[in-house]
Amino acid sequence: MADVTAALKGVRRIYFSMSLSPYYTDAVSLMGAGARAQGDIEVFVDISEYEQSFMTFDKMTAPEEERRAWLGGLIANWSPQQRAH
């Protein structure tokens, strides 16, 4: 985390976008912790590939049964990346 905090020195706005990987939640958690440690971040925007590509208005406002089928059934059936989001 020291490296992330050092890299953010002097930064006021963060745009964080990372493609899905098993390390996504670790990376965004470290970036968030580094931003909090900095203490003077004005804006932190986190947009992931999954959200950009798949979570459209139409998909997210569809009837629940349709959403569940599209997302892959129950949360327990989702991939680790889907559950992280």
Report percent pLDDT > 70 for the chain.
Answer: 72
Which band of pLDDT confidence, cut at 50, 70 and 90, is reported for residue 73? low
Tokens linked to 70: 């599209």
> Residues with Cβ < 8 Å from 39, sequence gap 6 or more?
none
pLDDT at 45: 92
Which band of pLDDT confidence, cut at 50, 70 and 90, is reported for residue 30? very high
Residue 13 pLDDT > 90: yes
Q: Model's pTM, two decimal places? A: 0.56
Residue 10 pLDDT > 70: yes
